[in-house]
Amino acid sequence: MIKTDALIIGAGPTGLFTAHQLKLIGLSCEIVDNLDKIGGQCIELYPDKPIYDIPAIPECTGEELTNNLIEQLKPFNIKFHLSERVEEVKKNNEIWQVKTNKGTEFNTPNIIIAGGVGSFEPRKFSPKECEKFENKSIFYAIKDKTIFKGKTVSIFGGGDSALDWAIELSKDSKVNLIHRRDEFRGAQASVDKMNELAKSDKINLFTKYQLKSVKGKENLEGIEIEHDDKEVKNLETDYVLGFFGLIMQLGPIANWGLNIDKKTISVDTEKFETNQKGIYAVGDICTYPGKLKLILSGFHEGALAARACFKLARPNEKYRFEFTTSSKSIKKRLGVKE
């Protein structure tokens, strides 16, 4: 059980800057994100695109913004819990008990939801029986490529991830690449390389096919794929990989008793508190009259929510406003020598 003054859900730009604001005023915090990396939409959806409306930064990419926010957090040594989704939020004696899908538990008086458009989840195969093989023989992301060595791997998808992994795994595995269209969406260089490997039989290419069913009781034994013209093929395979992109789902946040309107959470504009005391919502996921879904709005909202957390985390102390330029205690927290 981890005790913290505030728990932040979401490591997008808003969650990151909110952590900075909490630590600046002397509160502890930890961050949970469903993704395996820090940065939210900026890193998942547009790492290379330039952003032009971050105050005092004329131009930076999504990745550069994320790296700068991480750099700004360096003095604080924040604990991130990545690849974990917050599932359960319950109140016990004015303290929130929070649980993730991996079983990590937190006790905190304050939860700041910086969940953006919800958690990013992989789009999955439609046959229901795929679920029982998930994370055993069917994967939507690769953590350890060595398990595929010398095995037969059937890769589904037509974008960069499917192409890149088909090319990479063909070095040491038998690879079937299956796509529901004739055309691939990935980078031309990868499409050319894949076609070259298919010509030399290093990759078995199946276009206009989709997964029809999976076979096997305990272990996956094979799959059936179906052509647009209904012809069915059986393929023996040890592993199946699906790369169909990500979908965003509000997910478990919808079950925490919050005022939700069109996938956003209503808050006040003083503390960014929701209808539940001690639960705040900031960034893209919150709504109030005049809300702008911009990164700069999330920064402002996080700064105010962090100050609101002080009251519940330190009920016997009074919060004192201080500038970073002149506060000795802030400089101490930042490790700045005077």
Residues that bind ligand FAD (CB under 6 A): 9-15, 32-35, 40-42, 45-46, 51, 53, 85-86, 114-120, 251-253, 283-284, 293-296, 298
Residue 315's φ and ψ, nearest 5 degrees, are: -60, -20
Of residues 15 and 242, the one with the C-beta less far from ligand FAD: 15
Q: Which amino acid is at 318?
A: K
Residue 319's φ and ψ, nearest 5 degrees, are: -75, 130
Of residues 106 and 239, the one with the C-beta less far from ligand FAD: 106
For residue 13, the minimal CB distance to ligand FAD (Å) is: 5
For residue 121, the minimal CB distance to ligand FAD (Å) is: 9
Task: Give the residue at shortest CB distance from ligand FAD.
Answer: 116
DSSP string, 237-272: -SEEEE---EEEE-GGGGGSS--EETTEEE--TTT-
Query: Residue 78's CB: how many other CB atoms inside 10 A?
Result: 20
For residue 301, the minimal CB distance to ligand FAD (Å) is: 9
Cα dihedral 287, 293, 295, 300, rounded to 10, equals -40
Q: Are 10 and 116 in contact (CB under 8 A)?
A: yes
For residue 285, the minimal CB distance to ligand FAD (Å) is: 6
For residue 38, the minimal CB distance to ligand FAD (Å) is: 8
Q: What is the DSSP letter of 78?
A: P
Question: Containing H/E element for 67?
Answer: helix 62-73
Of residues 122 and 251, the one with the C-beta less far from ligand FAD: 251
- What 3-state DSSP class applies to 27? coil
b/e map 259-297, b = 16+ CB within 10 Å = ebeeebbebeeebbbbebebbbbbbbbbbeeeeeeebeb
For residue 188, the minimal CB distance to ligand FAD (Å) is: 22
Of residues 114 and 312, the one with the C-beta less far from ligand FAD: 114
Of residues 86 and 265, the one with the C-beta less far from ligand FAD: 86
Tokens 């959806």, residue?
45
Of residues 17 and 133, the one with the C-beta less far from ligand FAD: 17
Q: How far apart are CA 226 and CA 235, in angstroms?
A: 11
For residue 18, the minimal CB distance to ligand FAD (Å) is: 9
Specify which residues 247 forms β-bridges with.
Answer: 121
CA terminus-to-terminus distance, the chain: 37
Of residues 213 and 249, the one with the C-beta less far from ligand FAD: 249
Q: Are 32 and 9 in contact (CB under 8 A)?
A: yes
Of residues 48 and 229, the one with the C-beta less far from ligand FAD: 48
